[in-house]
Amino acid sequence: MDPISAVLERVLEEVRPLDAGEVANYIPQLATADPDQLALAVVGPRGRVRSVGDDRVQFTIQSISKPFVLALALEERGLDAVLDHVGAEPSGEPFNAISLEDITGRPVNPMVNAGAIATTSLIEGTDVDDRTGRIVATLSAFAGRSLWIDESVYASESATGDRNRALAHLLRSHGIFEGPVDDTVESYFRQCSVLVSVRDLAVMSATLAFGGVNPVTGARVVSETSARHVLSVMSSCGMYDFSGEWLLRVGVPAKSGVSGGLLAVAPSQFGVAAFSPRLDEHGNSVRASAVVRTLSESFGMHLL
């Protein structure tokens, strides 16, 4: 084993005993995950992927799709048009809170569900499949391979997605998007149901770290400006109502998802991802957060 993988292995074993938290169960299909799974991956500037633990296990990307769909919206519409529909302020509220500005009805940021649904509504597309196709193609370009949707998680999410539908109707009542609510919400459910491994997430993270160029494929996925805008929003809003303390303690842009994935970015240095299904009260993975925090402390990743 190379020396970097040995360090990753050590970090993983250090956090393995943590057994606090609960697997997400509000989407029935997510509740079936093995809570003990644990994985870590890192990708450097030359695109070498190093991973340890349950690194081949696939899980649904969930909210970690949000920064990448934001990147696509920024590419298609530009920053000002995106900001007309969704803000960039931390909400200090849970991911599924209503979180709309009082007067405009604009969701406060693109990382909470209301803002993510508004962002998805900005993606061009004649129907659900067309819009979802563009989204999955973008996620795939970030990951450097073709990604697929887990149809059973999608079905489970759609069957229990009334709160997200309600948020979308509220947005439409404020004129935040004009298209049909149902189509947009189904595209959002489908983007959340894309299957990834911790290795895919680390490559996606590295693509943001290196200014929008995927270091594995060499392809430019988004502009340097879009990558920087996404990292800025992740820094202030990526960990929901723990975003401030995360920036304080860990100090890197990050995004979590309810499947237990966590993506963190060391700009110009490397992309990191960790995975473990048990979540804390904010909906962030307990062990994946501990892994990234330990790495940040060991490698001096704190940006400030």
Please give the positions annotated as active site. Answer: 63, 66, 188, 240, 258
164 binds ligand DON (CB under 6 A): yes
**HSE of 284, CA atoms in CB hemisphere, 13 A:** 26
Question: What residues contact residue 207 under an 8 Å CB cut-off, 6+ apart?
Answer: 142, 144, 213, 214, 215, 221, 227, 271
Chain centre to alpha carbon of residue 172: 24
Stretch that binds ligand DON, among 128-136, 241-249, 254-262, 265-273 (CB under 6 A): 254-262
Of 74-82, 143-151, 204-212, 255-263: span binding ligand DON (CB under 6 A): 255-263
d(CA 299, CA 97): 35
Total number of residues binding ligand DON (CB under 6 A)? 12
Shortest reach from residue 185's CB to ligand DON, in Å: 10
Q: Is 296 in the site for ligand DON (CB under 6 A)?
A: no
Q: 95, 210, 270, 275: which one contacts ligand DON (CB under 6 A)?
A: 95
Nearer to ligand DON, 39 or 64 (CB): 64
Q: Between residue 23 and residue 62, which ones bind ligand DON under the rule CB under 6 A?
A: 62
Min dist CB 277 to ligand DON, Å, is 12
Task: Quote the CA–CA distance of 86 and 74 in Å, as a whole number.
Answer: 12
Q: Does 157 bind ligand DON (CB under 6 A)?
A: yes
- Residue found by looking up tokens 């860990």 in the block: 250
Q: Which range in 141-149, 250-258, 267-275, 291-299 contacts ligand DON by CB under 6 A?
A: 250-258
- Cα 283 to chain centroid, rounded: 12
Q: Residue 113, interface with ligand DON (CB under 6 A)?
A: yes
Coil/strand/helix, residue 6: helix
What is the smallest separation between the CB atom of 206 and ligand DON, expressed in angstroms? 21
Using CB under 6 A, which of the segments 69-77, 102-110, 173-181, 253-261 binds ligand DON? Answer: 253-261
Q: Please, is 297 exposed, middle or buried when counting C-beta atoms within 10 Å of its C-beta (0-12, 13-18, 19+)?
A: middle
Q: Which residues pair with 59 in a beta bridge?
A: 196
Q: Which of 87, 215, 251, 283 binds ligand DON (CB under 6 A)?
A: 283
To ligand DON, the closest distance from the beta carbon of 275 in angstroms equals 13
> Which residues face 61 on adjacent strands?
none
Using CB atoms within 10 Å of the CB of residue 147, give its burial: 0 to 12 exposed, 13 to 18 middle, 19+ buried: buried
Residues forming the site for ligand DON (CB under 6 A)? 62-63, 95-96, 113, 157, 164, 192, 256-258, 283
